[in-house]
């Protein structure tokens, strides 16, 4: 069990609607005409209703010693599923939602997510949905986030969605659209909006460090296996942590696991690897506590 309070800033809520949306895509396998077909092909557990999935996640957090987790709707239009989960377990789950800014209803969905649904963070995937971070629609979304004291999550760098790859769905995205440096102008205009860049920038480590150095509202989440390190010869996760701490300080790093489906559940190996890295770097206990849980509490609230 974790010895410090652990709050996970990056989990995916793979609801029934998530799988139904994937099954409806034109390039879905011909043998997968329903969410059930997809789940059988994947070998994953059916999620059940949003309430049932929320209960399973909280039971998993209890078993793993995790205090709170941020859960993200992982297809546009699935905000209601996350909202139901958060309403059921408001002290254990906080809500985030994926938006596709190329869709005309994105601003309306964002407003509803932050008001009626009580979600806390709007999630952008520019490489997946095909827009630039200096697009006027991004600026408009930051304005909405500022008005409602919300956060903005922006996936930068390489984007590889495992479930899409396993199902043969399109998963080659334009990583050029996810350059963290493009965030600086819009984020600088809204310094009150915390911005979370996952996976240390997903391969754009240098650009993420540069952006974070000039824009104090940028935060990094440490989630996933960070397999992008293979693109830089000899780079170890310890090196990544060291440089991130040098530029961002421990106050702008958020632990995340990138957990998503069952029966795998919460990704303890990710946590254990990152904990070993922090121990290797000799980080003080209080510094580790800020990364593992304290910064999450400060941004998302108790």
pLDDT tens digits for range 260-295: 999 999 999 999 999 999 999 999 999 999 999 999
CA distance 209 to 220: 10
Domain ranges of the chain: 7-300
Tokens 């990094």, located at residue: 220
Residue 103 in 3-state DSSP?
coil
Strands 151-154 and 195-197: parallel
CA distances from 32 to 23, 76, 197 (A): 6, 21, 33
H-helix or E-strand spanning residue 268: helix 268-280
* Beta carbons of 114 and 108 less than 8 angstroms apart: no
- Is residue 2 predicted with pLDDT exceeding 90? no
CATH superfamily of 7-300: Metal-dependent hydrolases (3.20.20.140)
User: In this predicted structure, what is the pLDDT of residue 268?
Assistant: 97
**Each residue's pLDDT tens digit, 33-83:** 899 999 999 999 999 999 999 999 999 999 999 999 999 999 999 999 999
Helix spans in 148-267 (H): 162-167, 183-189, 205-214, 237-248
Q: Counting beta carbons within 10 angstroms of the beta carbon of residue 1, is it exposed (0 to 12), middle (13 to 18) or buried (19 or more)?
A: exposed
Q: How many other CB atoms are there within 10 angstroms of residue 276's CB atom?
A: 12
């Amino acid at each position: 069990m974790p010895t410090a309070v652990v709050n996970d800033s990056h989990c995916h809520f793979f609801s029934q609607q998530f799988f139904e949306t994937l099954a409806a895509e034109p390039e879905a396998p011909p043998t997968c005409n329903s969410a059930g077909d997809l789940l059988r092909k994947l070998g994953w557990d059916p999620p059940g209703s949003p309430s049932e999935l929320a209960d399973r996640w909280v039971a998993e957090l209890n078993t793993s010693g995790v205090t709170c987790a941020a859960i993200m709707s992982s297809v546009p239009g699935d905000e209601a599923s996350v909202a139901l989960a958060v309403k059921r377990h408001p002290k254990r789950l906080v809500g985030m939602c994926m938006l596709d800014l190329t869709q005309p209803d994105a601003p309306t969905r964002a407003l509803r997510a932050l008001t009626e649904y009580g979600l806390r963070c709007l999630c952008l995937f520019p490489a997946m949905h095909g827009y630039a971070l200096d697009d006027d629609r991004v600026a408009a979304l930051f304005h909405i986030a500022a008005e409602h004291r919300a956060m903005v999550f922006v996936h930068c760098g390489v984007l590889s969605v495992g479930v899409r790859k396993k199902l043969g769905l399109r998963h080659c995205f334009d990583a050029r659209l996810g350059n963290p440096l493009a965030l600086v102008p819009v984020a600088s205009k809204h310094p009150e909006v915390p911005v979370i860049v996952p996976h240390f920038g997903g391969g754009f480590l240098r650009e993420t460090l540069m952006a974070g150095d000039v824009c104090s509202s940028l935060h990094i989440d440490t989630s996933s296996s960070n397999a992008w390190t293979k693109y830089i010869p000899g780079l170890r996760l310890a090196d990544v942590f060291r440089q991130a701490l040098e530029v961002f300080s421990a106050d702008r790093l958020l632990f995340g696991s990138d957990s998503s489906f069952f029966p795998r559940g919460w990704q303890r190996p990710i946590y254990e690897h990152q904990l070993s890295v922090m121990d290797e770097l000799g980080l003080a206990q209080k510094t580790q506590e800020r990364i593992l849980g304290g910064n999450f509490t400060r941004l998302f609230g108790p």
